[in-house]
Chain A
Amino acid sequence: MEIFDQLLLGFSVAISPINIVYLMLGSLIGMVVGIIPGFGPAAGLSILLPLTFGMDPTGAIIMLAAIYYGAMYGGTITSILLNTPGESAVVASTFDGYPLAQQGRAGPALVMQAAASFVGGTVGVILISVLAAVFAQVTRGFGPPEFFMLVLMGIVTLIVLIGDNWRFGAISALIGFALGTVGVDLETGMQRFTFGSAELIGGIAFIPIAIGLFGLGELFYAFYQGLHRGGSGGIIQYQSEKHFWPSMRDWIESRMAFVRGSILGFCIGVVPGAGATVASLMSYSIEKSSSKTPEKFGKGAMPGLVAPECANNAASAGSMVPLLTLGIPGSASTAVLLAALLMWGLKPGPLLMEQNPEFAWALVASMYLGNMALLAINIFAIPLFVTLLKVPYRVLAPAVILVCTMGTFSVHGSIIEVWLMFAAGGVGFFMKLYGFSPAATVLALVLGPLAEETLRQTLIISRGSPMIFVERGMSLGILIFTIGVIAFGYFMNRSRRLAKG
């Protein structure tokens, strides 16, 4: 019962009044940071980092971590209400979240996302408390070959996202892969398609593209339909009295999505470099492929919102595992947290949890409390957020454009990214008009560079031999699992067709 002793120690530190204040402050800041499109947790953390110089490290890490996972709660709100992802990990939540809102079910969607975030986050913390050491071993075994296998699994799930019109879907995915080739070629240092621009050396960032394709694309489409002339009402009909709580059917439909999303999200979060964005997109695809009614996905299916929401929150907890157990940052946000640990004079590494148990366990304990606090804040704030829907579209639309522009600009201070966002908005509009799949584009943009990098790293290490993928145990395991998933999906599909005659 060592774990309980340690957790108890953690709670005893975390529950001190000042730490509770930091926790609430962090949660609130995280929510706000998440809501502003473009402005994600990594940017929010790095701006607030200098403020923690003089603070007690435990209080400071409790606050910073709360900003990190709080952003996962906040980010979904604009995904659901405006089809504009607040940050990269919640792009997948727009796929079904926004259609739900369009059907007048914004209230249930927001409640469900809060519940899903809570479940994902809490499952994540429970897994950290109980199995951190086991998952640290997983992280340790993850070299480029395993990473490539994981990405390959993601690319397989891309087929699911492509949908019925596979020609348009494939074109959408190829656009994403093409955008992913921009920037410095990692292995040789050669520049590809940068046209001599210093801003493009780092490649095309995910956030401006996602905000453009979804948020602005939707906005332009609304203009095209003439919604801005629609008088004083919002675009979405919504009665808060009737439709606030999710129905029993929503819960029953989504029960497996909670489980699958949380566990998958955590496992992907543990792998350094993959992170919450990959986790949420992959769990959406897997949810869709394992659903009995995949045709409902993208048209307002509750499990399609729950799965990625559980996944991104569980992944943000999962990425704490390499940080706490090995001192390795798994994502941009945990890299800032790592910088913070160094700044406060702690030595992140395998000995951190032994040498500073009260620090590490206070952080873990605070994550239980933080998730509860965020659930409460969310539920209370939902009626406030849905009033957004009552704002006339001609007022709302320019405000959204302004906020998206500022949010995108603030991340890297790059005007080129703002233009990219607007260009992606134009492309997103036509994609919507002609039935392309922007979801496939963003997933391809995330996975393409990862696949290229890890495959090339693997082949350099193995001197060109692909046998390395089956020689290493873990990579072989992921390969077998992927083949299993494909076979399963194929037979499911066939039997369904047979059943239909």
Chain B
Amino acid sequence: MHLKNTIGKAVWACALVGAMAIPTLSPGLAKADSYPSERLNWTIAFGPGGGNDIMSRTIISILEKYKLYPGEIVAQNRPGGSGAVGWGFVHNQKGNPYHITSTSGSYITTPLKAKTPWSPTTFTPVALLAADDLVLLVNGKSKITSFDQFIKEAKAKPPAIGGMGAVNVDFIVPTLLAEKAGYKFEYVSFNKQGELTTALLSDALDAMVANPGEVAGLLESGDLRALAFSGKKAPESLKDIPTFGDKGYELGISMPRGVVLPPEAPKEAQEWWIATMKKVVEKPEWAAYVKKHELTETVLWGEDFRKFLAHSQEQFARVLKAKGAIK
């Protein structure tokens, strides 16, 4: 009797689980007008506390606060291999509109470094929301006070410019700038922001590139001096300095902070998310986030985002191949 009962329960349980599994297994079959009707899995490809984590959790809190997503949202950190683990996981959820992830700089560089089964353009793009752009800096006591002077000096004597990492936007940006402005320079790669900043403070380096948020305090105190900004529009704290574009050296690349769905996600899911993210970026919490982290608000939707990714990756690959960093 006991045994029979247990078996009966087991059968029931299997049936229940099976019933629940059907929609998950065939998401494409779900009715178009009923999306979204399930729990959303938000994968964060980095550990807690990093830039990607903070952005993802900011968006999730906006979605929850304004009830923009009807179901439950589960955020999970899947760090490892500079994003390879987390984005690899989302890549495996092919066609499933209930998985979503956020991108950052490694989204372009990691597939160039390691053999990942995905590239930035294989995912279903939703939106590019902001960009991490770089500011070109010199020591506050340096005799170089303007961008034009920097270029002039650089042509006379190649400067040593520091940045974070070799396969990174920190290397690409000064390289493209030097190409366009026609000077040579030595790139010095660092592993940790602290060592990079003190190398410039100690006058070992001639200049460096950094995210404005990371050096805001040192800029304010005058220990560092900003010369130019690589993005389209400088954040408020840097509004007095020119952008590369103002000086005629438009680079057109930056670190994309955006949102993507797994590859081959249904069209209606992509459209639903584009419409929803348009609401998110209008909320005051989003504006506060962009301001606090000194990001450049750069918004591109859907396929335009895919084109941006393709262009950025092409530029990265070209420069890195020329240097021999990748094959």
- Tell me, in angstroms, the Cα distance from A188 to B326 when the chains sit together: 9
Contact mask B274-308 → A, CB, 8 Å, 1/0?
00000000000000000011000000000000000
Range of interface residues on A (Cβ < 8 Å): 35 or more
Q: Is the CB of B49 within 8 A of A339?
A: yes
Residues 175 to 202 of chain B near chain A (Cβ within 8 Å): 186-195, 197-199, 201-202
Q: Can you show 17 pairs from A to B with CB atoms below 8 A apart?
A: A43-B47, A144-B188, A144-B204, A187-B189, A198-B116, A202-B82, A272-B198, A326-B198, A326-B223, A327-B215, A342-B292, A349-B216, A349-B221, A453-B190, A457-B190, A461-B188, A461-B204
State whether the Cβ of B71 lies closer than 8 Å to any Cβ in chain A.
Answer: no
Q: Is the CB of A49 within 8 A of B116?
A: no
Closest to A341 in B: B217
State whether the Cβ of B309 lies closer than 8 Å to any Cβ in chain A.
Answer: no
Q: Is the CB of B166 within 8 A of A187?
A: yes
Q: Out of B48, B78, B202, which one reaches A50, CB within 8 Å?
A: B48
State whether the Cβ of B167 lies closer than 8 Å to any Cβ in chain A.
Answer: yes
- Tell me, in angstroms, the Cα distance from A413 to B88 when the chains sit together: 14
Closest to B81 in A: A198
Q: Is the CB of A349 within 8 A of B202?
A: no
> B-side interface residues toward A, CB under 8 Å?
47-50, 53-54, 57, 78-82, 84-85, 110, 113-116, 160, 165-167, 171, 186-195, 197-199, 201-205, 213, 215-221, 223, 292-293, 320, 323-326
Question: If A196-B115, A198-B114 touch, does A272 touch B325 (CB 8 Å cutoff)?
Answer: no
Q: Which one of A134-142, A207-215, A422-430 is at the interface?
A: A134-142
State whether the Cβ of A147 lies closer than 8 Å to any Cβ in chain B.
Answer: yes
Q: Out of B114, B116, B160, B218, which one reaches A327, CB within 8 Å?
A: B218
Q: Out of A49, A322, A453, which one reaches B194, CB within 8 Å?
A: A322
Chain A residues with CB under 8 A of B189: 186-187, 189, 457
Chain B residues with CB under 8 A of A218: none
Chain A residues with CB under 8 A of B221: 349-351
Q: Is the CB of A189 within 8 A of B166?
A: yes
- Tell me, in angstroms, the Cα distance from A393 to B248 when the chains sit together: 71
Q: Is the CB of A189 within 8 A of B217?
A: no
Chain B residues with CB under 8 A of A147: 195
Q: Which one of A158-166, A253-261, A329-337, A375-383 is at the interface?
A: A329-337
Question: If A191-B113, A339-B50, A347-B220 touch, does A186 touch B292 (CB 8 Å cutoff)?
Answer: no
Q: A143-B204, A326-B217, A460-B188 are in contact. List 19 more A-B contacts (CB 8 A).
A: A43-B47, A140-B201, A143-B199, A184-B167, A189-B166, A198-B114, A202-B81, A273-B194, A322-B198, A326-B198, A328-B194, A342-B292, A347-B217, A347-B220, A351-B217, A413-B79, A414-B80, A457-B189, A460-B187
Minimum Cβ distance to chain B for residue A113 (Å): 28
- Tell me, in angstroms, the Cα distance from A347 to B221 when the chains sit together: 11
Q: Out of A50, A189, A197, A330, which one reaches B325, CB within 8 Å?
A: A189
State whether the Cβ of A3 lies closer than 8 Å to any Cβ in chain B.
Answer: no
Q: Out of B79, B193, B202, which one reaches A412, CB within 8 Å?
A: B79
Minimum Cβ distance to chain A for residue B184 (Å): 12
Pairs A-B, 6 closest by C-beta atoms: A349-B217, A143-B204, A198-B81, A189-B325, A189-B166, A272-B194
State whether the Cβ of A348 lies closer than 8 Å to any Cβ in chain B.
Answer: yes
Q: Is the CB of B217 within 8 A of A348?
A: yes
Minimum Cβ distance to chain B for residue A356 (Å): 11
Q: Is the CB of B194 within 8 A of A350?
A: no
State whether the Cβ of A482 lies closer than 8 Å to any Cβ in chain B.
Answer: no
Q: Is the CB of A186 within 8 A of B216?
A: no
Question: If A342-B213, A413-B80 touch, does A198 touch B192 (CB 8 Å cutoff)?
Answer: no
Q: Is the CB of B213 within 8 A of A146?
A: no
State whether the Cβ of A250 lies closer than 8 Å to any Cβ in chain B.
Answer: no
Chain B residues with CB under 8 A of A352: 217
> A-side interface residues toward B, CB under 8 Å?
43, 45-47, 49-50, 139-147, 184-191, 196-199, 201-202, 272-273, 322, 326-330, 335-336, 339-340, 342-343, 345, 347-352, 412-414, 453, 457-458, 460-461, 463, 472, 474
Question: If A272-B192, A349-B218, A351-B221 touch, does A143 touch B49 (CB 8 Å cutoff)?
Answer: no
Chain B residues with CB under 8 A of A184: 113, 165-167
Q: Is the CB of B194 within 8 A of A457?
A: no
- Tell me, in angstroms, the Cα distance from A463 to B160 when the chains sit together: 9
Q: Is the CB of B198 within 8 A of A328?
A: yes
- Tell me, in angstroms, the Cα distance from A474 to B219 when the chains sit together: 25
Closest to B139 in A: A140
Q: Out of B49, B320, B324, which one reaches A49, CB within 8 Å?
A: B49
Chain A residues with CB under 8 A of B198: 139-140, 142-143, 272, 322, 326, 328
- Tell me, in angstroms, the Cα distance from A190 to B186 when the chains sit together: 17
Minimum Cβ distance to chain B for residue A467 (Å): 14
Minimum Cβ distance to chain A for residue B248 (Å): 29
Minimum Cβ distance to chain B for residue A211 (Å): 19
- Tell me, in angstroms, the Cα distance from A197 to B325 when the chains sit together: 16
- Tell me, in angstroms, the Cα distance from A345 to B323 when the chains sit together: 39
Chain A residues with CB under 8 A of B192: 272-273, 329, 335
